[in-house]
Amino acid sequence: MRYKERILFTFLFSFLFFSTYSIAQEKPEFKLGGALRFNYNYSDWKEDSKKKGGDFGFDVFRLNLTGSYKKILFDAEYRFYANSSGGHMLKHGWFGYKFNENHQIQVGLTQVPFGVLPVTSNNFFFNLNYYLGLEDDYDMGVKYLFNKNAWNLALAFFKNSDILDFGDKQSLSPNRYSYDVGGRDKEVNQGNIQINYTCGNRFKQEFGLSGMLGGIYNMDTEKMGLRKAFAVHYSASYKNWDVKAQYTTYAMSPKKGNDKNGNPIDRDFVTMGAYGANYNVARKADTYLATIAYTIPVNKGILDNIRIYNDFSMMHKRIDGYKDSYQNVSGILLTTGPVFTYIDYALGKNHSWFSNAWDDSFAQGDPSNKWNARFNINMGYYF
């Protein structure tokens, strides 16, 4: 049985276990949810898309299962995409123990505590940090959470990113949800720390610091390199307004050497992958994120709320000759009960998802060095 199939079997077995066990003795609590989403997009850099007026199709079907038994916690999400987008995959899955209201521990494929949580963005595409493995990232390890009054602390150790094949020297599969270092490199032995301070009631603010330090093991050179990142963030909400800002700096330094054919390995970029495909990313850069959103309560007919937003992010590559990357998304989110509809106008420059230069847009940059646009509508029913 392949690893993915075992994951799916385990997920379904967990659901059946919670269902049947609830009949016996002390009843655990659980909740099953999920979503079905469809997507329309028009991409101005694709001739076929322009001639056809865009494409409309299946995005994702997902299942969520959360549960608890006494102080034991459980949380998992499994997603089903088209094969071209990586197929089916475990987004996250962990079990934990809640000592009390202030202390909790999680073990498994759990979210990396880094930057604004859960994400900095409001739009369907997230921000640039997501494509660099620095936002909404999930790795295999153990995480401790402490919350008291205005302070939040997270300490984590991740043995590695989600491994889909335990074979010796197997390249990391890109069939995953969050972006991880891949190719012939692997993320290993990573430590994270995050400290947040919140204040205010009507005008609520959060100030946060995040740090990350870990290894990059290359399977060809059999040497260990270094991966590190630091972020400072701020978020605030007042009435119907929300703003978020974050500065991040990172550096990845795999050990130099030759590949299995004896050719020198370029260490100015590393390979990263998700959604069934790899691309190259500059090994060191700074990113700047800024978002603003305003929610309009409607509560008329089937329409509950309209959320208007603009999310901007920039990647300044600290490699000579590499062109910076940009992303700006302006859009609205329509909430109609369990149906959420994102309508986004996304602009990208030197961006793998917004150009034909997939492999190197986040490394050397797109040779055209121009802005591309994508009009996108994502509709989802969440249950």
Does residue 1 belong to any structural domain of this protein?
Answer: no
Does residue 179 belong to any structural domain of this protein?
Answer: yes
φ, ψ at 343 (rounded to 5°) = -120, 110
Q: Is the pLDDT of residue 25 over 80?
A: no
Q: Is the pLDDT of residue 95 over 80?
A: yes
Q: Average of pLDDT values for 19-48?
A: 83
The rounded percent of the chain whose pLDDT value lies above 70 is: 91
User: Can you name the residues that pair with 321 across neighbouring β-strands?
Assistant: none
Residue type, 86: G
Give the pLDDT confidence of 97-113 residue by residue, as tens digits: 999 999 999 999 999 99
Q: How many CB atoms lie within 10 A of CB 74?
A: 19
pLDDT of 90: 97
Give the pLDDT confidence of 219-233 residue by residue, as tens digits: 888 899 999 999 999
Q: Average of pLDDT values for 234-255?
A: 96
Give the pLDDT confidence of 180-193 residue by residue, as tens digits: 999 889 999 999 99
State the CATH number of the domain containing residue 252.
Answer: 2.40.160.10
Q: Is the pLDDT of residue 4 over 70?
A: no
pLDDT of 22: 44
Does residue 16 belong to any structural domain of this protein?
Answer: no
Does residue 255 belong to any structural domain of this protein?
Answer: yes
Which helix or strand (DSSP H or E) is residue 3 part of?
helix 3-21
Domain count, the chain: 1
Which residues form the domain of 127?
A: 29-382
Q: How far apart are CA 40 and CA 155, in angstroms?
A: 40
Does residue 3 belong to any structural domain of this protein?
Answer: no
Q: Average of pLDDT values for 25-48?
A: 93
pLDDT of 10: 53
pLDDT of 202: 93
pLDDT of 221: 85
Q: Average of pLDDT values for 356-376?
A: 95
pLDDT of 23: 44
Does residue 18 belong to any structural domain of this protein?
Answer: no
User: Can you name the residues that pair with 108 across neighbouring β-strands?
Assistant: 94, 141
User: Could you say which DSSP state residue 264 is in?
Assistant: B
Does residue 20 belong to any structural domain of this protein?
Answer: no
Q: Average of pLDDT values for 277-287?
A: 97
Does residue 22 belong to any structural domain of this protein?
Answer: no
Q: How far apart are CA 352 and CA 272, in angstroms?
A: 12
How far is CA 294 from each of CA 31, 127, 160, rounded to the nearest angstrom? Answer: 31, 18, 38
